[in-house]
Amino acid sequence: YSIDSSHPHLIREPTPACYTPLPHFPEHSSLGKKTANREHTRLDGYNWRAAESRFNSTLPQYRTTITVPSSSTSPESLRIHFVHKCSKNLTATPLLLCHTWPSSFIEVQRVIDALTDPHSLPGHGYGQRNGNKNGAQQAFHIIAPSIPGFGFSDASQSPDFGIGGTAEVFAGLMARLGYKRWVAHGTGWGFSICRALALRYPEKCLAVHTANPVFDAPTYKSGPVQYLKNRIAKMTKAKVSGLDFGGRLLGPMLHRLYSLRPQTLAYSLCDSPVGLLAALLDVIHTRDLPLGPLGERERSPFLSPVEPEMRGEQEENDETETERERGVERGDEGSGRSYTWNPTEVLNFTMLQWLPGPEAALRWLRRAHMDTTHPQFNTYTPTPLGISTFYARNCNTATPLTWGRSSWDIAWVKRYNNHPAMLPGFEAPDLLVLDLRECFGGMVGGRLVFDFPNMES
């Protein structure tokens, strides 16, 4: 794919005269400076053609037409863009990778080779964890489609197209490629798509893996025991791990804000690439609220480079005995530091939102919020679920995983208590690859987690 991208808007974009720190959100005080820095990078050194060439050479990309039968108006045909790479291993499992908002298909660039080749990892080159060979040779055929309206996929014209319609499109794509049964992975809104696939196509979607899931609080009907525990902890303000009510998830709140008036917001973001960049920076670097004094807050990947120097020694020694016993291979993601996006990576991320325009994605986000609040969306599915968590050590906004038992068969869990990552496929690719291999091909307490039927039958 070759895209014509000029930058007259960037040249005339005004720069704010000052950057005002916001109370209670000190990490946001430098957002304007970081936006300006990336604007200058765009004008002075960013090369979209180089990025475009790299994506085309490393990611096998295709487009095919899929008909959406459940459109509220009439069946519509959409050209769906997707990445598809087959493993040389004939027994490989088809793995559907569902990206989130506001991400895109480039989220898979750091994991695709290691997932198709069972002997490699993005950074280390090892095929297994120390002392743990479960799933080490598990290989995958990778399918990573772009949500309609994202990347190079056509946008649906139906106002009702959201999570459900996306699941239908992705299931249709898997059938078009000849995959009768498959597994799926997604984080954020990608996880919601995976859930819709598990609910609608349980005979095809055999298992799901996700990272950092957010589960709704249990109701008395869905989980009476968990409901009572939750109520007691909330009334007593208990300082229980996963039940600290002093924090609120910033990510979902921000996503909800962007989805309220998609068309109104789209006019501004379409007219200003720098405005879009600032909005995406805000999403990318949103982490948790500070737990205490300013010096103890969770470090954003966009903070001043002075802070890593001040806190580096403390974080390097912040490994617990539990993590040592687990035998987790510790690479770049193992230092306890958030991944730091460089300007080129941020601009690549932004370009994949700028090229199709943000309106369709924001409209999809609005409908996705509506779909996930429907009562049927929270019904129980026996589809096995594997979970990896990538949080800072003192994270106070992670929802308890037990809340998910009322809607999933939680069969596999791996926790990283000092590896904060919002997009693990991009920020912690080595660990995600290992987890996918182990999750979809391992044993936990003598129990076969995911027993796949013969894919050829």
Q: What is the pLDDT of residue 228?
A: 75
Looking at residues 156-176, what average pLDDT do you find?
94
DSSP helix/strand/coil, 77: strand
| Per-residue pLDDT reduced to its tens digit, 343-357 | 899 999 999 998 988
Q: What is the pLDDT of residue 255?
A: 64
Q: What average pLDDT is seen over the chain?
A: 74
Structure tokens belonging to residue 261: 């008036």
Q: Which of 4-18, 218-232, 399-413 bottoms out in mean pLDDT, i.e. has the lowest?
A: 4-18
365 or 242, higher pLDDT? 365
Task: Label residue 312 by pLDDT band (50, 70, 90).
Answer: very low
Looking at residues 116-141, what average pLDDT do you find?
63
Structure tokens belonging to residue 173: 């794509």
Looking at residues 153-169, what average pLDDT do you find?
94
Domains of the chain: 29-448 (3.40.50.1820)
CA distances from 322 to 319, 328, 335, 416, 431 (A): 8, 10, 15, 10, 17
| Per-residue pLDDT reduced to its tens digit, 148-160 | 999 999 999 998 8
> How far from chain centre, in Å, is Cα 37?
25
| Per-residue pLDDT reduced to its tens digit, 191-236 | 999 999 999 999 999 999 999 998 887 776 766 776 777 677 667 6
- The rounded distance, in Å, linking the Cα atoms of 403 and 387 is 13
Interior CA angle at 14 toward 11 and 17, to 5°?
Answer: 140
Instruction: Give this prediction's pTM.
Output: 0.76
What φ, ψ does residue 128 adopt, rounded to 5°? -155, 160
Q: Does residue 309 carry a pLDDT above 60?
A: no
Element (H, E) at 235: helix 224-236
* Spatial CA neighbour of 43 closest among 234, 273, 265, 242: 273
Whether the CB-CB separation of 428 and 421 falls below 8 Å is answered with: yes
